[in-house]
Amino acid sequence: MDYTNKNFPELKNDRLLRAALGKEVDKVPVWVMRQAGRYLPEFQAVRAKHDFFTVCRTPELACEVTLQPLRRYEHLDASIIFSDILVIPQALGMTVEMHPGVGPVFPKPLKDPSEIDDLQEDGAVSRLLYVGKAITLTRHKIEGKVPLIGFTGAPFTLLGYMIEGGGSKTMAKTKDWIENHTKDVHKLLRMLTRVIIDYLVMQVESGAQLLQVFESSADHLTREQFAVISAPYLKEIRNGVKTKLEEKQLEQVPMTVFAKGAGHSLDVQSQLGYETIGLDWTVDPVEARKIVGDNITLQGNLDPQDLYKTLEEIKELTINMVRKFGKFRYIANLGHGITPQTPLESMTAFTESVHEAV
């Protein structure tokens, strides 16, 4: 297939985009973070044959696993391109491996601020063109069934992985850098911000119809730190994407910010320019709406652990959640990614109940 032929099939289900833009919807749109993932046997079958980052780097494989959840769950109103937030540190020249049962591992994390200068910002986005190819191929193969979401990690979350060398419970090293190498931390956050803006614009050029920015490690930051370390860069990303799309005379796309654990800063988040704010399950929908006002869409926020309850309980919890959020400016989702052991029927119960609710 010629990926460069961008005459995409017409979009048949625009609930997600309508909700993100504050337009009326017939039903509440629903999708699930990590909907292409290990809870699906068909995903595991692909992973049994191919390394994680090989799947990310091979457009045909990335496209295939992106489409898998849509085949199984008719109620899904969106797809998210299969990739990972850590492809950016890779494009900057760092090695990242995915170890089964462990997660991402950087054999050589950043040990000293002087190593920031070794990162290869030049050409980083050109080394990520495989993500664009996967997006373009998926837009064709999806046949307009639902919109395709592009995504990135946010600067602080990426910096944390680059310094810790993988996931971390304490973020001890990152916190040490924030306190003792403050200027270097901001230098790296600025570099990541520049790369992220161009990376997201490339995703839109390739066919992404909505963009989500994952600040998944925001739960390590106090309200004061969030305002300094995360929020300014999230805002710059939103503005930067808008400006560059204008310059390139490309259509604007709505954007979502998901800052996990930053429910203490919804007032700050509502000033960043994003159309949608993603909420984790610790945030009360009614309280969140009061804080952000009526000009922003909310997304979330069922606890992923609730999908281990009985189907009856899942239905009840989901319907209660949708009633609390209401039909206006709302996208149903979990409050974080779906976890690997989740029973397949739980996803049916969740997605179906969203459409039945209100």
151 binds ligand CP3 (CB under 6 A): yes
353 binds ligand CP3 (CB under 6 A): no
Out of 39, 73, 161, 274, the active site residue is 161
Contact indicator for 73, 347 with CB cutoff of 8 Å: yes
Task: Indicate the residue type of 186.
Answer: H
Distance CA 64, CA 45 (A): 12
Of 273, 268, 235, nearest to 253 by C-alpha is 273
Distance CA 126, CA 264 (A): 37
Cis bond before residue 180 (omega within 30° of 0): no
Site string for ligand CP3, 306-345 (x = CB under 6 A): -------------------------------x--------
Out of 15, 18, 39, 47, the active site residue is 47
Q: Binding residue for ligand CP3 (CB under 6 A) from 138, 152, 216, 351? A: 216
Task: Indicate the residue type of 153.
Answer: G
| Residue numbers 63-82 binding ligand CP3 by CB under 6 A | 80, 82
| Strand spans (E) along 73-160 | 79-80, 97-99, 103-105, 148-153
Q: Is 233 a catalytic residue?
A: no
| Residue numbers 29-58 binding ligand CP3 by CB under 6 A | 33-38, 47, 52
Q: Binding residue for ligand CP3 (CB under 6 A) from 11, 21, 98, 358? A: 98
Dihedral sign computed on CA atoms, order 178, 241, 70, 355 = positive
Of 167, 156, 46, nearest to 96 by C-alpha is 167
Contact indicator for 263, 318 with CB cutoff of 8 Å: no
- Shortest approach of ligand CP3 to residue 176 CB, angstroms? 21
Site string for ligand CP3, 154-193 (x = CB under 6 A): -------------x--------------------------
Q: Is 47 a catalytic residue?
A: yes
234 binds ligand CP3 (CB under 6 A): no
Please tell me the count of residues contacting ligand CP3 according to CB under 6 A. Answer: 23
Q: Is 267 a catalytic residue?
A: no
> Tell me, what DSSP letter sits at residue 279?
-
For 146, the 3-state DSSP assignment is: coil
- Shortest approach of ligand CP3 to residue 247 CB, angstroms? 27
Distance CA 216, CA 86 (A): 12
- Shortest approach of ligand CP3 to residue 316 CB, angstroms? 26
Which residues are catalytic, by number?
Answer: 34, 38, 47, 84, 161
Q: Contact positions toward ligand CP3, by CB under 6 A?
A: 33-38, 47, 52, 80, 82-86, 98, 100, 103-104, 151, 167, 214, 216, 337
